[in-house]
Amino acid sequence: MGTIVVLFEMEPDEAPGADGVEPPVLAVHAAGADADVPEDPQPRTLCGLDTGPMEHAHYRPTRPGEPWYPVALADRRCLDCERALRSS
């Protein structure tokens, strides 16, 4: 697998609250990067979900050995995406 794009699956139809707090992240997914626009994800996550409604995390590991997902959201990482990453 080449470059991946990390995406947040958000609570559907929830807008940021009055205090500016974003809706909760339901899950963290991974998708392959688009070949023409590497900052954009391919149409499907590695677990097969549509990337259209997901939010771009703008996360990239900064050092070798760091996880593909933001550490603070480890409990929300998609295990199917993780399995796909490990098998590639």
At 38 the pLDDT is 87
pTM of the model: 0.86
Query: Per mean pLDDT, which range of 10-14, 31-35, 62-66 is the poorest?
Result: 10-14
The CA distance from 84 to 37, in Å, is 22
Residue 48, by phi and psi: left (phi above 0), alpha (psi -120 to 50) or beta?
A: left
- The mean per-residue pLDDT over the stretch 45-49 comes to 98
pLDDT of residue 12: 74
Q: Say which residue, 13 or 31, is predicted with more confidence.
A: 31
Tokens of 87: 């098998």
Q: Which residues pair with 50 in a beta bridge?
A: 44
What is the pLDDT at residue 85?
94
What value does the mean pLDDT take over residues 52-76?
93
